[in-house]
Amino acid sequence: MTVGRPREFDVDKALDQALQVFWLKGYEGASLSDLTEAMGITRPSLYAAFGNKEALFRKAVDRYQGWAKAASCRALSATTSREVVEQMLRVAADWHTDPCHPRGCMMMQGTLACGSDAEALREEMVSRCAEGQAAMQTRFEQAKSEGDLPDDADPGALARYVTTVLRGMAVDAAGGASRQDLYKTIDIALRAWPVNGKAQPNRVAKAMTRRA
Amino acid sequence: MTVGRPREFDVDKALDQALQVFWLKGYEGASLSDLTEAMGITRPSLYAAFGNKEALFRKAVDRYQGWAKAASCRALSATTSREVVEQMLRVAADWHTDPCHPRGCMMMQGTLACGSDAEALREEMVSRCAEGQAAMQTRFEQAKSEGDLPDDADPGALARYVTTVLRGMAVDAAGGASRQDLYKTIDIALRAWPVNGKAQPNRVAKAMTRRA
DNA sequence: TTTCTTTTCTACCGGTCGGTATATAATAGA
DNA sequence: TCTATTATATACCGACCGGTAGAAAAGAAA
């Protein structure tokens, strides 16, 4: 029951369009003309609805990260650390080569692709990416305590390694690598994963609920 | 014995300064004002000496790639494929965290960090990066024929894997990762390297000349 | 219908972008 | 010294940047 002239466009759809533009062109590479044309609205409408360009970018990143976090949570709940990593990498490979949207990682394309004046933005994005790495680290610490990883395993270093491969794959995809190429890379990357000689007490029980 | 007024600045030194600016700010993020200030020359001097901004960037990339190719050749001449990869990754880690210049990879920071109008530039950089990957692939094919890699090894996929890790590390470094962090990542990444059960006839002989 | 609120549109702001016209200064050869 | 040639410095170009003022339009409440 709002008063005043009703908005003529769908805010969420417009945000999706803006996300695509940022993904493709980066934060600074996406001009307001690019954005308003893709969103199908005029400049003042954009400012009234989203604040300014930076706020619009943040909202686009929020939406993007929502998807990423959902996929990440699903992967983190896999039974073994190895399965966590494999799912993480495969989902990323599928995502970064999905023909429904631009290739590569939106946050990397959008934020690494920005000059120095948006330094604060970049640092925020770096720390946002670090969240995912930290989540993996805690998951691997849990795996270690469960005996799913050997005693000499370094959860932090392992999480960093996976993050590095993820970032590399995102660049590969942005540069045109095919999904099959990324799959082959994943097969090799996974051979670095430590195998433990200890018993894994919860493994069978967890495996039964894995596909729930 | 050239005629006319002599140039008052050192072209190579100016190009080095331009390289630093592009490295730090990217192709589009580096404005002509940024460049001329860092190079210590005026705008018309820049255009007279280098053509235009894009030509200047290409020359800067040429110089950067010269260093990269030299290091790459050194690594490729190592005895075993594993040593090739280890040296490749370690040199890259050192390079990308060298305090003497901006962090990360100049070509990635410079080119991935550009909008859509410089699409041709980006594609050229992508193909330039592919050269290094191709060189690794031929080196690994040689290793396979020498028995240094198992018969079921896929030289192309292995080269892609190493390239992916290299790209990931470059992003890590640009985001602030320490050299020690990258070293730990390398230790893990190397565990993916295939081990062969076959004899390696030339291994001892080559190892003797390795440190020559 | 009148009033109030909010969105939409056109047109514009100062600033910066990459690039250049023009005039002057500095050298080599005649 | 005079001329040809090249580099320098100032000042400027049209185009585009992110962002906004102000009027018209469309709804809800009175």
Residues 6+ apart with CB under 8 A from A52: none
CATH code linked to domain B61-194: 1.10.357.10
Q: Which of residues 159-178 of B touch A (CB under 8 A)?
A: 160-161, 163-169, 171-172, 174-177
Does the CB of B139 fall within 7 Å of any strand C atom?
Answer: no
B133 touches chain A (CB under 8 A): no
The C-alpha angle A99, A102, A108, rounded to 5 degrees, equals: 135
Which residue, counting CA atoms, is nearest to the C1' of nucleotide D25? A5
Query: Dihedral of the CA atoms A155, A161, A167, A170 (nearest 10)?
Result: -110
Does the CB of A33 fall within 7 Å of any strand D atom?
Answer: yes
B1: nt with nearest C1' to CA = C28
Query: Rounded to a whole number, what is the largest CA-CA distance in chain B?
Result: 68
| Cα A134 to the center of its chain, rounded Å | 14
- Which chain B residue lies closest to A27 (C-alpha atoms)? B115
SS (H, E, C) A137-161: HHHHHHHHHCCCCCCCCCHHHHHHH
| Cα B26 to the center of its chain, rounded Å | 15
| Residue B183 to residue B77: CA distance in whole angstroms | 21
Which of A112, A175, A187 has the CB atom closest to B126's CB atom? A175
Q: Which helix (H) or strand (E) holds A125?
A: helix A119-145
Q: What per-residue confidence (pLDDT) applies to A210?
A: 42
| Residue A8 to residue B34: CA distance in whole angstroms | 43
| Residue A182 to residue A95: CA distance in whole angstroms | 11
Q: Which helix (H) or strand (E) holds A34?
A: helix A32-39
B4: which 2 tokens?
A: 């006319």
| DSSP calls for chain B | ---SSPPSS-HHHHHHHHHHHHHHH-TTTS-HHHHHHHHT--HHHHHHHH-SHHHHHHHHHHHHHHHHHHHHHHHHTSSSHHHHHHHHHHHHHHHHT-TTS-SS-HHIIIIIS--STTHHHHHHHHHHHHHHHHHHHHHHHHHHHTTSS-TT--HHHHHHHHHHHHHHHHHHHHTT--HHHHHHHHHHHHTTS----S--TTHHHHHHTTT-
Q: What per-residue confidence (pLDDT) applies to B109?
A: 84
Q: pLDDT (tens digit, 9 = 90+) per residue, A17-73? A: 999 999 999 999 999 999 999 999 999 999 999 999 999 999 999 999 999 999 999
Q: pLDDT (tens digit, 9 = 90+) per residue, A117-170? A: 778 888 888 899 899 999 999 999 999 999 999 999 999 999 999 999 999 999
**Sign of the torsion formed by the C-alpha atoms of B27, A63, A211 and A201:** positive
Residues 6+ apart with CB under 8 A from A33: none
| Cα A209 to the center of its chain, rounded Å | 26
User: How distant is C1' of C20 from CA of A42, in Å?
Assistant: 34
Q: Of A167, A169, A182, which to mutate for an interface test with B (greatest number of B Cβ within 10 Å)?
A: A167
Q: What is the mean pLDDT of residues A102-129?
A: 84
B85 touches chain A (CB under 8 A): no
- pLDDT band per the 50, 70, 90 thresholds, residue A109: confident
Q: Which nucleotides of D are covered by protein (CB under 7 A)?
A: 4-11, 16-22, 25-29
Phi then psi for residue B162, to 5 deg, are: -60, -40
Does the CB of A43 fall within 7 Å of any strand D atom?
Answer: yes
Give residue for tokens 């000499």: A152
Report domain extents, chain B.
61-194
The C-alpha angle B97, B99, B100, rounded to 5 degrees, equals: 120
Q: Which fold has domain A57-194?
A: Tetracycline Repressor; domain 2 (1.10.357)
Does the CB of B178 fall within 7 Å of any strand C atom?
Answer: no
Name the DSSP letter for residue A111. Answer: I
Does the CB of B161 fall within 7 Å of any strand C atom?
Answer: no
Which of B113, B116, B126 has the CB atom closest to A112's CB atom? B113
Q: pLDDT (tens digit, 9 = 90+) per residue, A13-26? A: 999 999 999 999 99
| Residue B199 to residue B203: CA distance in whole angstroms | 9
Q: Which helix (H) or strand (E) holds A206?
A: helix A203-208
Q: What per-residue confidence (pLDDT) applies to A198?
A: 66
Is residue B115 within 8 A of residue B26, CB to CB? The reply is no
- pLDDT band per the 50, 70, 90 thresholds, residue A204: very low
The C-alpha angle A19, A20, A25, rounded to 5 degrees, equals: 100
Residues lying close to strand D (Cβ under 7 A), chosen from 49-88 of chain B, are: 49
What is the interface pTM, i.e. ipTM, of the complex? 0.90
Regions of chain B where pLDDT drops below 70: 1, 113-117, 197-212
- pLDDT band per the 50, 70, 90 thresholds, residue A207: very low
Q: What per-residue confidence (pLDDT) applies to A209?
A: 46
Measured N-to-C along each axis, helices A179-190 and A155-174 cross at an angle, to the nearest 10 degrees, of 160
Does the CB of B152 fall within 7 Å of any strand D atom?
Answer: no
Q: What per-residue confidence (pLDDT) applies to B197?
A: 66
Q: What per-residue confidence (pLDDT) applies to B207?
A: 44
A146 touches chain B (CB under 8 A): no
**Three-state secondary structure call for residue A2:** coil
